[in-house]
């Protein structure tokens, strides 16, 4: 059987434990190309470097593989550089973005560089997954997420129609040992959003600066949502469409259009 060609990227940087554990798990079943930021680029969403140069360097990864690090590049930059240049003569069969430090549930995906990289893969015609672990610890159970992803990769029928559906898979994994997982479940994007806050400070030199953060609320009670699945030890798989149109609202707005005058 021909080995798949997989492009791997992330938003936590090429040295993060998540991407290294993913490479360790997949290197025996696929041919991998790793192109990732050289530093932490979390919450950069779908940002693209329009001005300025993007140097690239080959770096040894802790897992023993060699990867490409894009200096100060965003996840979207990395995907474009990989597809338009590094892999242009032999495009990947699959793009996997992750494993992210921290889950990407509900409204998280609007900010996520991890999810954005997968969406960029989709726009470039590559079947794509975003993978996240529900932990911000560098010592989290990344092996659990890596094994879960490998199971999905090996089940080709599960994702063979993603491109024609213009969708990616957003995969979230509980931070528990693999043996404690309760299985896979198909979920919808929930409504979970961080309770954001902005803290204002004044430096010793009388300069104003801010610290932006957020607290995640408890999981949702809707059993079909991604956050509910994580709370109950299941791997959440959400098909995410690149089309953001609210189709339920379209008919009502069309009826009201006559009231809108120039």
Q: Cα(145)–Cα(98) distance, rounded to whole angstroms?
A: 10
Run of H or E residues at 252: helix 250-256
CB count within 10 Å of CB 75 equals 33
Q: Which two three-digit tokens encode residue 219? A: 């999981």
Q: Cα(104)–Cα(111) distance, rounded to whole angstroms?
A: 9
Q: Cα(116)–Cα(109) distance, rounded to whole angstroms?
A: 8
Give 208-212's long-range contacts (Cβ < 8 A, gap of 24+): none
Q: Are strands 127-133 and 94-101 parallel, antiparallel or unpaired?
A: parallel
The reported pLDDT for the residue numbered 1 is 62
Residue appearing with tokens 């338009």: 84
Q: Cα(121)–Cα(76) distance, rounded to whole angstroms?
A: 9
Sort residue 102 into left (φ over 0), alpha (ψ -120 to 50) or beta: left
The reported pLDDT for the residue numbered 167 is 97
The reported pLDDT for the residue numbered 192 is 73
The reported pLDDT for the residue numbered 196 is 76
Q: Which two three-digit tokens encode residue 191? A: 């409504």
Return averaged pLDDT per consecutive 10 residues of the chain, 262 residues in all. 91 96 96 96 93 93 86 96 97 98 93 97 98 97 98 94 95 98 96 79 91 72 90 97 93 90 82
Distances (CA, A) of 122 to 24, 28, 78: 24, 25, 14
Q: Are strands 184-186 and 195-202 parallel, antiparallel or unpaired?
A: unpaired
Spatial CA neighbour of 170 closest among 238, 241, 231 = 238
Give all domains of the chain, ordered by start, each with its CATH number: 4-191+219-244 (3.40.1210.10)
Expressed in angstroms, the distance from the first to the final Cα of the chain is 62
The reported pLDDT for the residue numbered 72 is 92
């Amino acid at each position: 059987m021909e080995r798949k060609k997989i492009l791997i990227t992330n938003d936590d940087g090429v040295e993060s434990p998540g991407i290294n554990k993913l490479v360790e798990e997949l290197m025996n079943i696929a041919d991998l190309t790793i192109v990732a930021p050289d530093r932490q680029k979390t919450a950069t969403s779908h940002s693209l470097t329009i001005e300025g140069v993007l140097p690239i360097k080959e770096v040894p990864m802790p897992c023993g593989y060699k990867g490409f690090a894009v200096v100060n590049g965003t996840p979207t930059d990395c995907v474009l550089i990989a597809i338009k240049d590094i892999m242009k003569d032999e495009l990947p069969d699959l793009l996997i973005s992750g494993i992210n430090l921290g889950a990407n549930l509900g409204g998280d995906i609007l900010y996520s560089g991890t999810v954005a990289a997968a969406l960029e893969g989709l726009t470039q015609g590559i079947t794509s997954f975003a993978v996240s672990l529900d932990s911000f610890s560098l010592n989290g159970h990344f092996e659990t997420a890596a094994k879960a992803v490998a199971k999905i990769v090996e089940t080709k029928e599960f994702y063979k129609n993603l491109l024609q559906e213009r969708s990616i898979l957003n995969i979230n994994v509980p931070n528990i040992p693999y043996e404690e997982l309760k299985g896979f479940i198909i979920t919808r994007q929930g409504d979970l959003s961080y309770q954001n806050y902005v803290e204002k400070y004044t430096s010793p030199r009388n300069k104003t600066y801010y610290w932006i953060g957020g607290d995640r609320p408890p999981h949702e009670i809707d059993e079909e949502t991604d956050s509910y699945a994580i709370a109950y030890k299941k791997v959440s798989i959400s098909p995410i469409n690149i089309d953001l149109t609210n189709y339920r609202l379209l008919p009502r707005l069309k009826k009201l259009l006559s009231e809108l005058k120039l």
